[in-house]
Every structure is written in structure tokens, then in C-alpha cells.
Amino acid sequence: MRSETRSWRQIAGIGLLAAIFVLSLVLLFLTERSYGAFRDTLKNIQFEIRLTSWEEAAPQQARLRWQATVTIPDLKVPVQLELLDWHLRSTDRSVHLGFYTTGEVQIALTRTTSIPLEALLEGPNFEKLQRLRAESQTLLFDGMARVMFRLPQGEVRKKIPATSTFTLPTEEDDGL
């Protein structure tokens, strides 16, 4: 009788270990699938930042506006974005025109999301901008974006670059 009890316990133990093993494999598969979706989404994020307007707001002040378009071809997980620490510089990085951030604003991303951005340059930065404009130099919009993904394991945050170059209209141009 003792051997029958022992064999039943062994079978139950082996069955329990097999069930735990199968459950672990299923959870591992689901986790890897969601992490793979996260990696694919992160890899496919694209930024297009273009200057939409330039105006002299007042004497010694210029207002520049951009449209940042964020495109994610295969949106597989919920994503939010913050544009952090962006700089306006000459393309050779010798002239720095300002540091900006919109980090306190979180934007839920869809396949294509447009984000308006604005900078007001005044004082010494306005004078530098006028010199660069007279020289017809190209400017660099250089920034970082924090992207926040909601995964089953929790929120994952990654920083990715968001850069673009553009040429300011010259004084002879009628706008953009």
C-alpha cells in the first residue's frame, strides 16, 4: 500500500512541475512578445521637425514656430512623449541660440502626431540669429524626446534624439 501512495505523490509532483513549466513558458512567450513590440515601436519612431513661421515679434525679438511630426508606422503599445532639452544652434554648433524644454507636457502618440513648438529669441540671442540669418546659415534644432511605453511589466522610459536642420528666410523673402 505504501508504494501505491508514493507513486501517486510522484505523479502529482511531476504533473505539478510540468504545469508550472508550461505556465512559465507561456508567460515567457507573452513577455517576450510585448517586449518585442516595444523594441519594434521604439526602433520605428521618426521625427520630422520643420520651421513653419518666423516673425519679428517686437524690436529685438523673434518668434520661431516649428511643427514636430512624430510618426510610428507600427504602433503596438501605448506610447506617450515629452520633448526635453532642445537647443537651437548653428549647424556647426559654434553659435547657441537658446535652450528650451516642454518636459512637463506629456503627449499621447498615435500613428502620426503633430506637435506645435515655439521659441522667443531676444537680446543677445536675437542678435546672433540676425547675424546667422544675414549669412544664410542653416540652423540646427537639436533635442531629446523621452518616450514612455506602457508594457504589461510596467512603464518603460527611453530617450531618443529629435533633430532637424532648416534655413531661415532671408530679409528679401516674404515669409516661409
Backbone angles phi, psi at 59, to 5 degrees: -60, 130
> How distant, in Å, are the alpha carbons of 37, 62, 97, 131 from that of 126?
44, 7, 8, 9
Cell (9 digits) for 82? 515629452
Burial class of 119 by CB neighbour count within 10 A (0 to 12, 13 to 18, 19+) = middle
164: helix, strand or coil: strand
User: Residues 72, 149, 159, 81: is their CA dihedral positive or negative?
Assistant: positive
Nearest to 105 by CA among 89, 118, 122, 120: 118
Confidence at residue 33, expressed as pLDDT on a 0 to 100 scale: 73
Provide block-wise average pLDDT over 10 residues at a time, the chain (176 residues). 66 88 86 72 84 85 89 79 84 86 78 88 89 83 85 80 82 53
Confidence at residue 20, expressed as pLDDT on a 0 to 100 scale: 92
Distance CA 66, CA 55 (A): 12
Burial class of 23 by CB neighbour count within 10 A (0 to 12, 13 to 18, 19+) = exposed
Backbone angles phi, psi at 21, to 5 degrees: -65, -45
Distance CA 107, CA 118 (A): 16
